[in-house]
Structure 1
Amino acid sequence: MHRPLHRRPAAVAALLAAALLTVSGCSSDSGKPGSAQGPRSSNSPVVPDRQIETEPTGPAAGPSALPKDQALPDGELKPVTGSFTKRQKEYLSGRVPKAMDPAAVLQTGEESCQRIARTAKRDKDAAIGAIIAGDVPDAKGAIEHLCPQQKPLLATAATGFPDGTVTRPKPGTYRALTTDPSCTWRALGSNGKLLASGPSTGADGPVKATIPSGAREFVSTSCYAWLPV
């Protein structure tokens, strides 16, 4: 079952909803995509700013490797029937809790691949934004092992950062991956001095933000995710 997606901007929500309606089971072939919390709607409550690392770290990794004593040994990664491909085994390694069916963990990764692929088919920005915001479970691991054809999206997502607070941001011009009119941002210098703020937006274009040199923090609200221009 798909996890519900929350806080999406209307345009992206529609795309992701359409993707979910068409999701079908994934082939076990390693080169095929298996199976995009999403953008915030303007009616959703404001979420507290999230602190992230100094440099954009790209998409949230989702479920990370388990401690070795809690993960099912690689030698026991076997489905009830059939067999796993090499890529599937690589994805499952260290991700399956003991006493859990590896196929259930694999299904989550395959569904993530499907959601990314179907959303990207309609709107690449929507898929990239969902990866940046951490709205696709284990997007990084799923793409690297189960649907490597989506690596260009992952590479682009790695250059962006999610809505919230970024410390020591890289100077430059960025665009918000949302059309939410409540998207606002500000760049702060030492001692919280305001260096720049926005939105800088037009009726027919995205919100853009220019982070000046010397900015110590970049804070945005209701902007979902950012990519360099």
Structure 2
Amino acid sequence: MRYPFLAGAVTVLTVAALAACGSSADGNGPEAAGAQRPAASGPAVPGPSTEASDPPATPTAPAPPKAPAEPATEDPAAPGPPSAPAATAEGPKTPTDQLTPATGSFTKKQKEYLEDRVPQGMDPAAVLQTGQETCDKLRYLVRVDRDTAVGAIATEEITDAPAAVAGLCPQHQDLVDEAAYAYPDGTHTGKALRPGVYRSASPTTNCSWQIEGAGGKELASGSSDTGKSRKITIPKSARTFTSTGCYAWLAEGAKG
């Protein structure tokens, strides 16, 4: 789930993420609940550049006139050249043994990440770049605020993070593991509920929550307009947990 204050941070994330690519100093940042979260969208991939043609040489003598060429006929119904399919498009995928970049080669881990991810007709390097950008975003976020990084995975604001981490940046596996026990905004019921203490990660100033037991009986509820992190306890008797505007709730202590 995104919030309006994320939109202005796209440029900051892009520059900082690329600058941080060479650094592996991941760690816990201060618990900056309500801190500005960079947007999850990555930079656009530039297309191929076009070269200007050389200016025509000045003729030394006038050339004889040429016969006018017949005008080309164009069928308005004729289809144009097919566009490359999106990375998430359904359809046949490029076999693993055919995943080769234009230059160089893919590592074993990169090929494992690309397996069943590259639609036929798409450059596998473009799909790989998407995964690498995901790792760059996580590397940046975890340096700014670890809770926000975990929350971005739990809410799927950073898409496909588990696969990118497993194949391209395994040093962030702890973030993915913690996100698996987090609650993004929404309603959670049944087996999805796990008793324990949780803290809100980067809540908005309109954060509210409600915990209900059997028969819809309210067990706890609350709200916060400060944008600061809050802690709640989900008891064993809880049957429904609803959160709005709190972004994500991260488990405290042991998971299970």
* Same fold per superposition (TM over 0.5): yes
CA deviations over 1:146-168 (Å, ceiling 9, x no partner): 01111122222222121111112
CA deviations over 1:18-63 (Å, ceiling 9, x no partner): 3323233998x9xx8xxxxxx999xxxxxxxxxxxxxxxxxxxxx8
Alignment RMSD: 3.2
Measure the CA separation in 2 of the matches of 1:214 and 1:9: 36
Q: CA deviation at 1:72?
A: 1.1
Out of 96, 114, 125, the residue aligned to residue 136 of structure 2 is 114
2:2 equivalent to 1:7: yes
Other structure's SS at 2:148 match: helix
Scaled by the length of structure 2, what TM-score is found?
0.65
Report the equivalent of 1:19.
13
Report the equivalent of 1:81.
103
CA contact (8 A) 1:15 1:119 kept: no
Measure the CA separation in 1 of the matches of 2:211 and 2:232: 9
CA contact (8 A) 1:87 1:145 kept: yes
Cα distance change, pair 24–182 in 1 and its aligned pair in 2 (3 A): same
CA deviations over 1:59-78 (Å, ceiling 9, x no partner): xxxx88x88x6221111111
For 1:161, give the aligned amino acid. Answer: Y
Q: CA deviation at 1:174?
A: 0.8
Q: Report 1:1-229 matches (<5 A).
A: 7-8=2-3, 10=5, 18-24=12-18, 70-168=92-190, 169-199=193-223, 205-229=228-252
CA deviations over 1:164-189 (Å, ceiling 9, x no partner): 11112111221110241211000112
| Structure 1 unpaired stretches of 5+ | 1-5, 33-38, 42-62
Cα distance change, pair 217–17 in 1 and its aligned pair in 2 (3 A): farther
Q: CA deviation at 1:111?
A: 0.3
CA deviations over 1:126-165 (Å, ceiling 9, x no partner): 1111111101121000001101111122222222121111
CA contact (8 A) 1:185 1:209 kept: no
CA contact (8 A) 1:7 1:40 kept: no
CA contact (8 A) 2:205 2:226 kept: no
CA contact (8 A) 1:166 1:218 kept: yes
Other structure's SS at 1:7 match: coil
Larger Rg: 1 or 2? 2
